[in-house]
Amino acid sequence: MEAVMSDLDMFMNYLEARSPGEPEFHQAVREVSEKVLPYIETHPEYARARILERMTEPDRVIMFRVTWEDDEGNVQINRGYRVQFNGAIGPYKGGLRFHPSVNLSILKFLGFEQILKNSLTGLPMGGGKGGSDFDPKGKSDAEVMRFCQSFMSELFRHIGKNVDVPAGDIGVGAREIGYLFGQYRRLKNEFTGTMTGKGLSYGGSLIRPEATGYGNVYFAAEMLKTRGKTLDGKTCLVSGSGNVAQYTTEKLIHLGAKVVTLSDSSGFIYDPDGITREKLDFVMDLKNNRRGRIKEYADKFGCAYYPGEKPWNVPCDLAFPSATQNEITAGDARALLENGCYLVSEGANMPTTYEATKLFEEARILFGPGKAANAGGVAISGLEMTQNSMRLTWTREQVEEKLQEIMQRIHEQCLEYGSTNGYCDYVKGANIAGFVKVADAMLAYGVV
Ligand code: NDP
């Protein structure tokens, strides 16, 4: 590659040739490059230094074997990963995902998104992501513990409070963080904030469990404000029923909206009366303690359950995809638009396929991309790091106020870089605003 590239197809050909067979990574880079390349054309210093080519190449990728013994004494083998994607503006920061679908493509897409997301928060954090194809579903606590200990026995040598600070993601919640951090502390014989999402008794931050969902709702409220609307009385679809979905639902209820769906990988429930505080408590116990299926909600509260389906055909005002990548296809996007949905705020990472994002853009609805809308989680992880370094704990009110301010600032940045003729392209705004800060740091470092 001799010439400086400015054309999207040319750039994607280059990227796909360098990283073949990684469709999710290609998708994430395409969505960003489409918005950033025209900006780079007007800023030749970035093109000359080949910043986008450099930013799409991870600083390093660590892959390792994780061997552990199940409860029957059988030897099990999984693969562990940590993608340290870009450390230009701070220690690598991003979650660990434990799910059978995990592969390098998915972790590179997540790590790449994380660079720009972390930059948007305004906090000094680089981008990274990791995980394993281990499936915690159906495993005993003892098996999950042995897996986590084995995983950390390799990962610990690559991370550190000033190097790389992992957190949770799909399949990695409070239980897994406890086992992982416990093993880290034991191996290093030191207590540092090298992981976030920790329990409150050992260095965790108040509001961290709530932060991604709450932040997403705050972001949606900011988007609505630009059209003179509020959340009050709006009918909302939420997908997933894990961490992000639960706290999105909690904040939506709190602000007067009506949530009518939740889902898991087996199907979705539709409760036209709306999920109340009491019903949400049932979901939290079901998912976080009993590790059951969302169908039990329908059995308990006598509403409809749709096995094997996603909620996007249900009429709504607002949609909060909070399960996984590519859960809204072009067909789903059409159904949402036809049924009157005018805001989609992504709690999950890249839940909308490329084709579906185009439909939302054409329809000019309020479309908040994950790197902006779900940045509240990593922002509060950043504040957990701050509290750990200062060896103090902020109150719930202090942290929630900071979360709200950060989400407002992210929204302002989107408006600054994404608005033309009264319409805000939040995808463009988030991508360019996130890119500029990292790009400027990379320029300052020279050729490294
Ligand atoms: P959880 O593991 O707590 O919950 C995930 C939920 O999504 C579960 O209901 C799960 O159902 C469902 N799900 C997972 N994979 C699939 C799939 N392939 N098809 C259908 N449903 C699926 O994860 P989180 O809530 O933490 O994460 C959800 C999303 O939010 C992810 O995209 C994550 O990257 C993103 N995110 C999370 C942050 C956080 O702070 N936790 C921060 C920013 C983004 P089942 O139990 O049946 O698998």
Residue with tokens 């709702």: 217
Catalytic site residue from 35, 129, 139, 234: 129
Q: pTM above 0.75?
A: yes
Other Cβ atoms less than 10 A from the Cβ of 392: the count is 8
Q: Which atom of ligand 1 approaches the CA of 168 most closely?
A: 41
- The span from the CA of 22 to the CA of 280, in Å, is 37
**DSSP letters spanning 370-437:** HHHHTTHHHHHHHHHHHHHHHT----HHHHHHHHHHHHHHHHHHHHHHHEETTEE-HHHHHHHHHHHH
Q: Ligand 1 mean position to 324 CA, how many Å?
A: 5
With contact defined as beta carbons under 8 Å apart, do 393 and 362 qualify? no
- The span from the CA of 335 to the CA of 92, in Å, is 38
With contact defined as beta carbons under 8 Å apart, do 80 and 155 qualify? yes
Q: Which atom of ligand 1 approaches the CA of 266 most closely?
A: 47
Closest Cα to atom 10, ligand 1: which residue?
A: 264
Give the start-end residues of each E strand in 118-255: 126-132, 164-167, 235-238
Any bridge partners for residue 164, and if so which? 92, 160
Report phi then psi at 390, rounded to 5.
-85, -10
Q: Which atom of ligand 1 approaches the CA of 173 most closely?
A: 3
The pLDDT value given to residue 2 = 46
The pLDDT value given to residue 6 = 54
Q: Ligand 1 mean position to 346 CA, how many Å?
A: 12
Sign of the CA dihedral running 150, 156, 159, 165: positive
Any bridge partners for residue 84, and if so which? 60, 128
With contact defined as beta carbons under 8 Å apart, do 135 and 100 qualify? yes
The pLDDT value given to residue 224 = 98
Q: Which two tokens stand for residue 313?
A: 């055909």
DSSP state of 100: T
Pocket of ligand 1 (CB under 6 A): 168-171, 173, 212, 240-245, 264-266, 322-324, 347-349, 374, 377
- The span from the CA of 82 to the CA of 91, in Å, is 13
- The span from the CA of 325 to the CA of 303, in Å, is 27
Report the CATH number of the 211-373 domain: 3.40.50.720
Closest Cα to atom 32, ligand 1: which residue?
A: 348
The pLDDT value given to residue 86 = 98
Active site residue 129: yes
Pocket test for ligand 1, best of 195, 243, 332 (most atoms within 8 A of CB): 243
225 CB-near residues (< 8 Å, 6+ apart): none
Local structure of 179: helix, strand or coil? helix
Closest Cα to atom 29, ligand 1: which residue?
A: 348
Q: How far is CA 322 from the centre of its chain?
A: 9
Q: What is the mean pLDDT of each run of 10 residues along the chain (448 residues)?
A: 67 97 98 97 96 98 98 98 98 98 98 98 98 97 98 98 98 97 98 96 98 98 98 98 98 98 98 98 97 98 98 98 98 98 98 98 98 98 97 97 98 98 96 98 97
**Selecting from 3.40.50.1820, 3.40.50.10860, 3.40.50.150, 2.60.40.10, what CATH number does the domain 60-191 have?**
3.40.50.10860
Residue extent(s) of CATH 3.40.50.10860 domains in the chain: 60-191
428 CB-near residues (< 8 Å, 6+ apart): 35, 417, 418
Q: Ligand 1 mean position to 442 CA, how many Å?
A: 32
- The span from the CA of 259 to the CA of 262, in Å, is 8
Q: Ligand 1 mean position to 170 CA, how many Å?
A: 4
The pLDDT value given to residue 392 = 95
Q: Ligand 1 mean position to 5 CA, how many Å?
A: 36
Residue extent(s) of CATH 3.40.50.720 domains in the chain: 211-373
Give the start-end residues of each E strand in 185-257: 235-238
Residue with tokens 């990695």: 172
**DSSP letters spanning 44-78:** HHHHHTTHHHHHTS-SEEEEEEEEEE-TTS-EEEE
Closest Cα to atom 21, ligand 1: which residue?
A: 265
Amino acid present at 83: V
294 closest CA partner among 316, 336, 264:
264
